[in-house]
Structure 1
Amino acid sequence: MKRAVFYLLSAAVLVASAMLGPVRADLGDTLNYSWAANVGPLNPHAYSPSQMFAQAMVYEPLVRYGEGGGLEPWLAESWDISADGRTYTFHLRKGVTFSDGTPFDAAAAKKNFDAVLLNSQRHNWLEFINQIADTVAVDEHTFQLVLKNAYYPTLQELCLIRPMRFLSPSGFPEDGNTGKGIKAPIGTGPWVLAETRKGEHDLFVANERYWGNKPKFKRLLVKVIPDSDGRAVAFQTGQIDLIFGSGGHGSGQIGIDTFNRFASMPGIETAISAPQATRVLAINSNLFPTSDLAVRQAILYGVNKAAMVKHIFLGVEPMADTLFSPDMPYCDLGLAPFAHDQQKAAALLDEAGWKQEKEAGYRTRDGRELAFDVCFVGNDSLQKSVAEVIQGDLKRLGIRVRLVGEEMDSFLTRQKSGEFGMIFGDTWGAPYDPHSFCSSMRKPAHADYQAQIGLPMKEEIDRKISEVLVSVDEEKRQELYRDILTTLHEQAVYLPLSYMTNITVHRPELKGVTFGPTKYEFPFELMSRER
């Protein structure tokens, strides 16, 4: 009842605003935005609770992932790669300083790399870290990385938001171990974190020492609004200027239905990005009954993804048929999709000996019921809706699906422990896909390892992943990726649902609103307000 009342109030605000015209936000030099939580300590060498979009605002890479997947010089103006592919020499941009005035030079670059290597166990999901043999400050503006092997994704992984970006030497703790924390988040990026009020907001100010194009706004106020419905009302009433990020209740900036409502209203501009990553569920090959290939294949045939994309994602996210979008490097393989076909799904189960005694009953084999858990984040209503559709679709096949919604910490523990039949586990998007995501499949820290561990060819998959990452032969690399991704597709250990997108909502006076090259890079510095 409470939620219904809230929706009525939200609808009333939307209708009133449509009649009265858009409500203008503060017309000063502050851009008002919102996020579900505070941005965190912003340690560039650490992960949660720091928010990636904010880390990208403060810290910069040597090499930047550009539009269309190209690599752009950033803090490094250029680089050379040795003939054996093991030594990368970076020629650093001159005149760059951290926001505290400390020069960015080869010594600072080495200090940051060495701090990450000091805590390499924390980062061993990233093969690049495991491949670093030495770091060398050749001279003031020349930094060198020496690798153990020729690791082809080196430049792509240097683009990542974490952990390979640069903290000012003055922000380091006395012992140099950033794994324990930092003194202050001081980077070379266009924004400086000026103030944090727990549960209220984070205030960023433009970096006056920024070497590139400085932000057009003097301040960026990120208000803490945990609820997507509350965020929609805050935009409509002028408390925030911009909605930017993924769509979907719980996990998104606003609900997809609300986004579409904004898109239909005069005086509001909206946009949808190209595919950024894949929304996917991992299927456990190491736990009964999804250890049965026929069951996994029946799941893929049995779920009506087209209806889900139409009624849940409302056309904002296109349907996915493969683990990675064909737009990703090495991923345009022409794999045959598991098209929705309930008859084919039922036939697979029949042939595998799963009997259904009564039309309305659940299937059994050898006295055991065909039943498993689908696990999701409990307060993520989009995941819950997807899980309910899966439950309904598979019930028609005689498969019992138990829905398990939990707090995020418990959900992540399940991913690592393998206590799931199916579990949400989205891909990471550019520049991680496919190499970083595939690399992490070999480590028991994500659902992918647990989903694959029951496959008879798991060791072979891992061996090929290790081989492809250090391959210097382009044709061989393409062949290995084809083998890896085709095997995973045919073994039905993933149920890809849709290709995730970012969305924007703003009023016409806010100019320069564009999508970043990756899912978590929001180019606030390009935005301005028309006076």
Structure 2
Amino acid sequence: MGFRLRVALMLCCLLLPLQALAAGNELRFSWQSNCGPLNPHMYSPNQMYAQNMLYEPLVKYARNGDIVPWLAEKWTVSSDGKTYTFTLRKGVRFSDGTPFDAQAVVKNFEAVRANLKRHKWLELVNQLDVLEAPAPDTFVMKLKSAYYPALQELALIRPLRFLSPAAFPDSGNTADGIRKPAGTGPWLLVESRLGEYDAFKRNDNYWGPKPAIEKITVRVITDPNSRLTAYETGEIDLIYGSGGHASGQIGMDAYQLLAKDPKNAASVSGPLGTRALCLNSGRGPTAELAVRQAVSHAVDKEALVKGVFLGVEQRADTLFAPSIPYCDLKLPPFAFDRAKAAKLLDDAGWKLPQGGKVRQKDGKPLEIDFCFVGNDALQKTIAELMQGELAKVGIAVKLVGEEQDAFGNRQKDGDFGFIFNDTWGPPYEPHAMVGSMRSPSHADYQAQVGLPMKADIDAKISKVFETTDIAQRQALYTDILTTLHQQAVYLPLTYMTNIMVHGKKLTDKGFGPTKSEIPFEAMAWK
């Protein structure tokens, strides 16, 4: 046999498994950016869906809202609500072979606590007091005071998940970076090419059930229309995530077309957060309650649902969906009623001048800045629609579209009349979102700062976290959310959903329990 023929046969043997992998055991997905360095304790540019693939929590948030065992098999909570004792799962190893044990848990928690300023938004990190590892399979977490959402916050994708101790930097502070992304999860990152793709493979040493799919290639596709083309031409197999905007997967109209095609399996998740606006109570015309209430009555949300979301998202009448714990309060919605909006403005002294289109008071026009991310097509569409709706009752809306950093600065410093401020979805709701309302770096705080009862709201928020009495906790949440609803500092628009589209040769078991969890491990090829 000649040398060239032997080489050709060897190449065939090597290529056959790769071809089989691409044909049968590889799933091709896309995202708008690379997955980042995948530091489990940090935020952007780390992408949450990818952090969730590699890193696991002590406890997990289930689809039904329960907190279930994960890296911790069981736990107990002291009668005063301050001490949590976790029994860790035995035999778990990080992907680099390092054992997962209580010392590793303490090391990771201490790394998060060392960067407290960055994590201060998460109340559990503020509450951490004593962290102990009395045995390899026992982790003890002592808090400064009782904090009922502790388990929910341990279930979050970041920052309280676990990196192999061998992957820590020399400084021991993961804020300085990590040596490599090594977790206990079902996937490994094996290759990343900037602006092109990230490649993950199955962790065959995973402690739990192994994924059926062997490899996931995530192409970087920044544009929803390009993503749609990639799906239709067979370059990607799956579309999963939010829809309808610049950072989403595809537009709502594109989803509807794919859903009607019999070769596709298409579905929409339940509510995964609220698409909402903050109305500033501390500056400009929206400092007046009557103006905020008039705005809430003047917006036709049903027209928004039908015209912009094509029925994929449903109208939201409250800041949190009724399905969220403590949030089914039967609050009366601000029904669409232009006549009522006009009367509220008239009674508050905002009058339409003869022949004019914009109301005035004390010689000043009723003009409100509406801030949004300029390259987010969905936000721009909503802002333009609202501009037209509010003009019908004599409110002039000035559209302010800016790049993401400038938009974020406005959320932090309160330089807005209206601003987009979506809720975070489970398991952050309601506690983490409500807790952030006390932080000046959030649009929620800035929107509420002009309320005469702001100090009382903040005091009740602090109290609700410490109570161990469920009835008292419910009463506090009822007071907080009812007050915010009546004060109209939020304009909830729709309940956000995820969409999923794939060919019928791929099977799935439904959506992940939270907005950013993509259940790749529950997917398989027929």
Q: TM-score, normalised by structure 2?
A: 0.95
For structure 2, the 5+ residue unaligned runs are 1-20
Of 260, 263, 272, the residue aligned with 1:267 is 263
Q: Deviations over 1:132-185 (max 9, x none)?
A: 111001100000000011110011110000000000001110111111211111
Residue 39 of structure 1 is matched in structure 2 by 35
Residue 75 of structure 2 is matched in structure 1 by 79
Identity %: 58
Residue 249 of structure 2 is matched in structure 1 by 253
Q: Deviations over 1:64-110 (max 9, x none)?
A: 00011011100000001111111000000000000011000000000
Give the Cα–Cα distance (whole angstroms) in 1 for the partners of residues 437 and 48 of structure 2: 22
Q: How far has the Cα of 1:27 moved from its partner? A: 1.9
Q: Deviations over 1:193-218 (max 9, x none)?
A: 11110000011111121101111111
Residue 509 of structure 1 is matched in structure 2 by 505
Residue 188 of structure 2 is matched in structure 1 by 192
- Alignment partner of 1:419 is 2:415: yes
Q: How far has the Cα of 1:26 moved from its partner? A: 4.8
Q: Secondary structure at the match of 1:28?
A: helix
Residue 17 of structure 2 is matched in structure 1 by none
Is the 1:195–1:203 contact (alpha carbons within 8 Å) kept by the matching residues of 2? yes
Give the Cα–Cα distance (whole angstroms) in 1 for the partners of residues 280 and 167 of structure 2: 43
Give the Cα–Cα distance (whole angstroms) in 1 for the partners of residues 415 and 154 of structure 2: 34
Give the Cα–Cα distance (whole angstroms) in 1 for the partners of residues 76 and 90 of structure 2: 17
Is the 1:330–1:478 contact (alpha carbons within 8 Å) kept by the matching residues of 2? yes
Give the Cα–Cα distance (whole angstroms) in 1 for the partners of residues 82 and 53 of structure 2: 31
Q: How far has the Cα of 1:360 moved from its partner? A: 4.5
- Alignment partner of 1:293 is 2:292: no
Q: Secondary structure at the match of 2:281?
A: coil
Is the 1:243–1:506 contact (alpha carbons within 8 Å) kept by the matching residues of 2? yes
Give the Cα–Cα distance (whole angstroms) in 1 for the partners of residues 22 and 281 of structure 2: 54
Q: Deviations over 1:461-512 (max 9, x none)?
A: 0000000011111111010000000000000000000000011000000012
Give the Cα–Cα distance (whole angstroms) in 1 for the partners of residues 457 and 57 of structure 2: 31
Residue 335 of structure 1 is matched in structure 2 by 331
Q: How far has the Cα of 1:249 moved from its partner? A: 2.7
- Alignment partner of 1:63 is 2:59: yes
Residue 364 of structure 1 is matched in structure 2 by 360
- Alignment partner of 1:283 is 2:270: no
Residue 213 of structure 1 is matched in structure 2 by 209
Of 422, 427, 431, the residue aligned with 2:427 is 431
Paired residues for 1:315-354 under 5 Å: 315-354=311-350
Q: How far has the Cα of 1:339 moved from its partner? A: 0.5
Residue 5 of structure 1 is matched in structure 2 by none
Is the 1:191–1:206 contact (alpha carbons within 8 Å) kept by the matching residues of 2? yes
Residue 371 of structure 2 is matched in structure 1 by 375
Is the alpha carbon distance of 1:363 and 1:182 closer, same or farther for their aligned partners in structure 2, counting shifts above 3 Å? same
Moved over 6 A (4+): none
Of 210, 215, 227, the residue aligned with 1:231 is 227
Of 484, 488, 510, the residue aligned with 1:488 is 484
Give the Cα–Cα distance (whole angstroms) in 2 for the partners of residues 56 and 373 of structure 1: 37
Is the 1:64–1:73 contact (alpha carbons within 8 Å) kept by the matching residues of 2? yes
Code of the aligned partner of 2:297: Y
Residue 388 of structure 2 is matched in structure 1 by 392
Code of the aligned partner of 2:169: P
Give the Cα–Cα distance (whole angstroms) in 1 for the partners of residues 509 and 391 of structure 2: 44
Give the Cα–Cα distance (whole angstroms) in 1 for the partners of residues 280 and 247 of structure 2: 23
What is the number of residues matched between the two proteins? Answer: 506
Give the Cα–Cα distance (whole angstroms) in 2 for the partners of residues 336 and 394 of structure 1: 22
Residue 129 of structure 2 is matched in structure 1 by 133
Give the Cα–Cα distance (whole angstroms) in 2 for the partners of residues 75 and 290 of structure 1: 48
Q: Deviations over 1:405-441 (max 9, x none)?
A: 1111111111001111000010001000000000000
Is the 1:99–1:208 contact (alpha carbons within 8 Å) kept by the matching residues of 2? no
Paired residues for 1:88-127 under 5 Å: 88-127=84-123
Is the alpha carbon distance of 1:257 and 1:358 closer, same or farther for their aligned partners in structure 2, counting shifts above 3 Å? farther
Give the Cα–Cα distance (whole angstroms) in 2 for the partners of residues 422 and 35 of structure 1: 29
Q: How far has the Cα of 1:358 moved from its partner? A: 3.4
Residue 165 of structure 2 is matched in structure 1 by 169
Give the Cα–Cα distance (whole angstroms) in 2 for the partners of residues 326 and 141 of structure 1: 39
Of 139, 147, 153, the residue aligned with 1:157 is 153
Q: How far has the Cα of 1:251 moved from its partner? A: 2.8
Q: TM-score, normalised by structure 1?
A: 0.94
Is the 1:355–1:364 contact (alpha carbons within 8 Å) kept by the matching residues of 2? yes
For structure 1, the 5+ residue unaligned runs are 1-24
Is the alpha carbon distance of 1:529 and 1:352 closer, same or farther for their aligned partners in structure 2, counting shifts above 3 Å? same
Residue 19 of structure 1 is matched in structure 2 by none
Between 354-363 and 158-167, report the one with greater CA deviation.
354-363
Code of the aligned partner of 1:380: D
Residue 523 of structure 2 is matched in structure 1 by 527
